Structure 1
């Protein structure tokens, strides 16, 4: 990894949800997440999970793998870390440990990771924190969403008897339609520390463009969630011409009321001074 990222990058993603539950809230009956004003939300953790899955589709080595998408024989993070022979030899050298972990797993050098595992003997554990250059905000809708709920039968009788158990009935919730927006940034100073390259940044961009590929489920049927646009801005230096807040705020998005072309975008002049890439559906 020699082509270390040298220019600050900001990005914004717009996606639509139709008749799907993009991110259920386990503390609220798995209803789609909303803020106190009724705007829909998708957590940054859920977005990074999808990015990791897309990176796995692109044949990248991922440390934090989901249980239903494991690509190796390890079923937890500790076993995956201890299964790395290079890490075993430097467990007491935090700097060397971080270098090897960054080299071994894409998501570690991108998002960072805390390695905190107990050892079997006194002072034999490991505690290494890595701060990654890629930050992602939570997604939020442009207006309050309407949630449609229905009662469903979750299963049929699996044991002899006259009645189904009470746990066979449940609720299913979905967002009728919503336009979600989230933004993020890539910090070159932190990229230097983790070895995150310009090529890695392009893989992040590709993952954003294909965020919902191979992501279908009963809560998110195929085609119910779609990336409509990715705006990717490259600054001319490590620090960048503008703050990330200025860049993200310079993209103005308004709703049209038409689900086929659900939004219109206008841009402040400062974005003309950045190297811009736009992916639109």
Structure 2
């Protein structure tokens, strides 16, 4: 592999959801994950990584062919019974060879993982160069309960249809933060091309969440800050973003991206204060997102 990652980078990614459950909590009736202290919506990093993996598998050819694969995915090994392979069986697809897994599986190069070996208690642990925090909404949320009917009866010969309970969020603007660690990248052999695939998958993968339970996702803001000073990053860049609600609305009354202004003034200031340590700043912004300031002229548009 060529063009191994040499510099540390930070990522900030914001997307919104409307009238859906962005990430249910199986321990709480599959309700949207809520931080009750701040009344904000939480989305796990695992959910974002799944979005990325699914896009790379469905659209970018990482499907087990031509030397490109996703390690963490459902693979059926008994078509008659549709049994899903365990992690040990999945590792067996690559003869438990770490180098082969790293060469073929982009998700291991990005996120790391534990690769099981022959012994059930033995595994190779790889720290992922790309780490995301749990996403958190920038707005207070207003969770709603819905009850509806299903399309099928609950039992054979029954005439009454089943009922469906679900919890949704009318609107949530979810803010993710991540770091690309150049030191861990050496171990997983992460390349610049892999990061290009990651960036595309974050944006386009979110846009392509169009199943019944997930339709309503829209990417709004993506930022990648790459540093030239070794071992340095500002940190907490997502904390420098905020929203200003229009028309005297309460944040819980937000229903669309048109209801607020996206504030990047603090973000611009902190990046300006550290410009001598920054290699470049790249970004993508949805056309409907209204900013409080113009994008600095030295920021570069991401071609996605």
Q: TM-score, normalised by structure 1?
A: 0.82
Q: CA contact under 8 A between 1:187 and 1:238: conserved in structure 2? A: no
> SS at 2:84's partner residue?
coil
What residue in structure 1 maps to residue 90 of structure 2? Answer: 80
The change in CA–CA distance for 1:184 and 1:162 in structure 2 (over 3 A counts) is closer
The CA deviation at 1:112 is 0.7
Q: CA contact under 8 A between 2:91 and 2:116: conserved in structure 1? A: no
What residue in structure 2 maps to residue 151 of structure 1? Answer: 147
Does structure 1 residue 254 correspond to structure 2 residue 255? no
> SS at 1:154's partner residue?
strand
In structure 1, C-alpha distance between the alignment counterparts of 2:285 and 2:158, rounded to whole Å: 55
In structure 1, C-alpha distance between the alignment counterparts of 2:128 and 2:283, rounded to whole Å: 25
The change in CA–CA distance for 1:217 and 1:238 in structure 2 (over 3 A counts) is same
- In structure 1, stretches of 5+ residues that fail to align are 88-96
More divergent stretch after superposition (110-119 vs 131-140): 110-119
Within 5 A, what are the aligned runs for 1:37-52?
37=37, 38-52=39-53
What residue in structure 2 maps to residue 116 of structure 1? Answer: 116
Does structure 1 residue 211 correspond to structure 2 residue 202? no
What residue in structure 2 maps to residue 265 of structure 1? Answer: 264
The CA deviation at 1:186 is 0.3
Q: CA contact under 8 A between 2:144 and 2:170: conserved in structure 1? A: yes
Within 5 A, what are the aligned runs for 1:57-206?
57-60=59-62, 61-66=69-74, 75-76=84-85, 77-85=87-95, 87=96, 97-116=97-116, 119=119, 126-157=122-153, 159-162=155-158, 164=160, 168-206=162-200
The change in CA–CA distance for 1:66 and 1:243 in structure 2 (over 3 A counts) is farther
Greater relative contact order (CA < 8 Å, ≥ 6 in sequence): 1
The CA deviation at 1:218 is 2.0
What residue in structure 2 maps to residue 233 of structure 1? Answer: 225
In structure 1, C-alpha distance between the alignment counterparts of 2:176 and 2:108, rounded to whole Å: 21
What residue in structure 2 maps to residue 278 of structure 1? Answer: 283
> SS at 1:5's partner residue?
coil
Q: CA contact under 8 A between 2:175 and 2:238: conserved in structure 1? A: no
Q: CA contact under 8 A between 1:98 and 1:130: conserved in structure 2? A: no
The change in CA–CA distance for 1:32 and 1:112 in structure 2 (over 3 A counts) is same
What residue in structure 1 maps to residue 20 of structure 2? Answer: 20
More divergent stretch after superposition (231-240 vs 207-216): 207-216
1:119-140 per-residue CA deviation (whole Å, 9 max, x = no partner) reads 4xxxx86411111100011111
The CA deviation at 1:217 is 2.0
How many pairs were matched up? 256
1:48-84 per-residue CA deviation (whole Å, 9 max, x = no partner) reads 111111222212311001479xxxx993233221122
Give runs of ≥4 in structure 1 deviating > 6 Å: none
What residue in structure 1 maps to residue 301 of structure 2? Answer: none
1:164-193 per-residue CA deviation (whole Å, 9 max, x = no partner) reads 48xx22302210112110110100011011
